[in-house]
Amino acid sequence: MATPDKSRGALWNLQRGYFAMVSLKQLEGLLRAALADYTPEDYAKEFAESQSFNGLVLQESILRATVLKSFSRKPPAGYRKKFLRVFVEEVEALEWEVFEEVWLVSSACCQEDSAKTSASIDDAGKTYFLDDDGSRYVSIPYEPFVIANGTTGLSAWDAGFYLVEWLTMHPELVRRKCVVELGSGSGLSGLSICKLFTPSSYTFTDHREDILERIRRNISLNGLQGIPSQSVDVMELDWFCSSEQDAERWKDTDVLLAADVLYDPDLFEPFLLTLNVLTANRGSQVAILLAVKIRAEETFRKFQITAESMGWVLEDISAPDAIGKVFPPGCYSHENCHLFSVAFKSSTR
C-alpha cells in the first residue's frame, strides 16, 4: 500500500500528492519538504561547480517527478500552473535561483490553460498510487463540477476512499470473492479494490447510463479488462425497481459494498429493499459493508431508524488506524467517515 515513506524520500510524497491533486496548501508543505531533501554531498558538489547552491538538481528532479512526468492522466493545466507558481515561491523563499526549465514549463501551462482545448480537458485527471513502488495506480478523469448532468455520480466521495483504506486491514473479505458494489459512481473505490485485493469478480452498479458509461471508460483506462483471474462487469441496478431477476443475477454474491450513498432520505428504503433482494438467496452468508460520511447526524439517525424498522442491524466497525494506508494525506477528509457491517436481525427470513 502507498503510505508516506521516508525511505523513498519527500519527492515520492510530493509526487503522490501532486497527481492526486491535493490542495495547494498541502502542496506547499510537500514542496517545502522536497526542497529540503538534499545531502551535504549534494550541496558540496553544486557549490564546487558554481560557487553557489541553488538546488538546481533537486529542482529538476521535482519538475520531472511532477509536471514533466508522462502519464495517461495528468492534472489539468490550471492546477499545474498553480503548482508551478507555488514551486517558484518556495524556491525564491530559499533565495535560490529558479531552475530555467521551470519558467519554460510554467509559460507552456499558462498558454494551455488559456486555450482550454477539449483535448487537454479530456486528458486531465487524478492519479492515485496504490503501492510504494508506484506500479499499481488508479487514474480517473478530472471532474471540475460536483454535480454534472443532474447527478453526483461522477464524483469520488470521502467514504469511498475510507472503504478502500479500511479493506487494507481486512483484505480477506474481498480477495477471491464475488463482490457487487451499489452506487459505484466514478468507480474509484472499485478500481482500487480490484487492483489491490483481486476479487474473483467485481460488479459495478449504478442507475444511470451516463454514469455506467463513465465507469466502463475508467475500467478500460485502468487496464482491468481481460484479466484471466478476475471478472469485472458494469450493470444497471435501479433501487426503486430491484426484482427477483436481480436476485437471480447475483445469486452467488459474497460481498455487497456501498460508499457514500446515504445523502437522500428518499433513497433509504429503496436501498434497504435492494439489500433484501440481493441477499435473498444466501442470506447471512453475504457480507454487507457500508461506508458512510456522516454529514448530518439527523439524516443518519433517520437511516438507522429506517433500517431497524425493516429488520436490519448496523454495527460500527470503523478503524482509525486504516487512515493513510493507501491515499496521500489531503486527498480526502476522513472526518466523520465510518464503516458499518449491515446484517439482517435474524439469520433466517
Question: What is the pLDDT averaged over residues 105-128?
Answer: 80
Q: Examine the pLDDT at 218 and tell me if it is beyond 70.
A: yes
What mean pLDDT is reported for the chain?
A: 90
The pLDDT assigned to 151 comes to 44
For the chain, what percent of residues have pLDDT higher than 90?
75
pLDDT at 153 over 50: no
Cell digits for 103? 519558467
* Mean pLDDT value of segment 284-311: 96
Q: Which residues contact 70 (CB under 8 A, 6 or more apart)?
A: none
What are the pLDDT digits (tens) for 67-93? 999 877 889 999 999 999 999 999 999
Count Cβ atoms within 10 A of the Cβ of residue 316 and give its class: 0-12 exposed, 13-18 middle, 19 or more buried.
exposed
List of residues 6+ apart from 326 with CB closer than 8 A: 1, 2, 3, 128, 130, 161, 164, 165, 168, 192, 196
Per-residue confidence (pLDDT) for residue 73, from 0 to 100: 82
**Is the model's pLDDT at 238 over the cut of 70?**
yes
Length of the chain: 349
Report pLDDT for 187: 95
Q: DSSP label at 227?
A: -
**What b/e sequence results for 199-232 when a residue is b if at least 16 CB atoms lie within 10 Å of its CB, and e otherwise?**
bebbbbbbbeeebbebbbebbebbebeeeeebeb
Would the pLDDT of 347 be above 80?
Answer: no
Span 192-197, average pLDDT = 96
pLDDT at 155: 60
Average pLDDT over residues 299-309: 96
> By mean pLDDT, which of 115-119, 151-155, 164-168, 329-333 is the weakest?
151-155
Q: What is the pLDDT averaged over residues 54-68?
A: 95
Residue keyed to cell 454514469 = 211
> Looking at residue 134, what is its pLDDT?
85
Q: What are 293's three cell numbers? A: 460520511
What pLDDT sits at residue 150? 45
2-16 pLDDT, tens digit each = 554 444 589 999 999
Q: Which residues, in sequence order, are CB contacts of 249 under 8 Å at separation 6+? A: 235
pLDDT tens digits, residue range 36-47?
Answer: 999 999 999 999
- What is the phi/psi pair of residue 206, to 5°? -165, 180
- Alpha carbon distance 60, 27 (integer Å): 17
**298 vs 118 pLDDT, higher one:** 298
Quote the pLDDT of residue 107.
Answer: 92
Which pLDDT band holds residue 1 (cuts at 50, 70, 90)?
low
Q: Helices 77-93 and 56-65 sit at what angle, rounded to 10 degrees?
A: 160
